[in-house]
Amino acid sequence: MIRPRAGQSPGSHLNETFFGRGSLFGARLFFGTRLRHTIMTRLHLIRHGETAWNAEGRVQGQTDASLNNTGREQASALKHDLSDIPIARVYVSSSVRARDTATLAFGHLPVEFIYLDELREIYLSDWEGQLYSEVELTHPQEVHHFRNAPHQFNYPGAETFLQLQARGLAAVQDIIQQSQGLDVAVVSHGAWIKAVLSHYEGRPLSEFWQPPRMHNCSHSILEAAPGGDQPRITRYAGQAMAL
């Protein structure tokens, strides 16, 4: 579920010297390694930087909130931290906090930016804009489900975690198809990224909020090989994953 925005409806240089005379094995090894490297698709999933609402404990969802000073510093740091990655394209949630994060982290690169509503955060209806402490008083059972039993969360007008996950996976599949053999950045939101990664790690939604925590500007990597194999997680919120 995506809330409509205002005005919008819902080896030519190889030779015998390199491999050794007649080294067919060497040629196969080189080309095989190079082929695997060039056709692997990597999605670098980035959560947006901190906002004032994050710091206040206020529900954001799909409501826009700008980065605070900490968030801008976090996003700017990504420019250096990810400088060795050949980002070829940047997909960005249409939310302001994600757009600002993407600009600070990747705006220096001569690459295309694609803004997608499908990358927006889980929609939380009239909770958005309220402090979590306020919502706890008015809807204690629903907040309990949101935090402790996400698979049971079903607040009227809001998106469920299953709906969020379905939306995220559809977007990921489209991005992979459009980005064969490339490294691309996907700047989105904490719950959106966790929903996607939960699917690929086989984690049930009942365990959605289990560690690792998706901190602001955390970097996760989803790697997809050619041939339609299941993508795999190689990095989760800054932590390398055992392969």
CA distances to 121, 126, 200, 218 from 60, rounded to whole Å, are 8, 10, 26, 18
Confirm if 101 and 188 have CB atoms less than 8 A apart: no
Taking alpha carbons only, the member of 168, 51, 183, 67 closest to residue 119 is 168
Give, in order, the Cα–Cα distances in Å from 236 to each of 8, 92, 202, 217, 222: 34, 19, 14, 12, 9
- Is residue 48 part of the annotated active site? The answer reads yes
- State phi, psi for 2 to the nearest 5 degrees: -125, 120
Find the catalytic residue in 48, 142, 159, 189: 48
Which residue in the list 44, 50, 121, 219 is annotated as catalytic? 121
CA–CA separation, 195 and 197 (whole Å): 6
From CA 97, how far away is CA 153, in angstroms rounded?
A: 25
Q: Which amino acid is at 53?
A: W
Active-site residue 139, yes or no? no
Catalytic residues: 48, 121
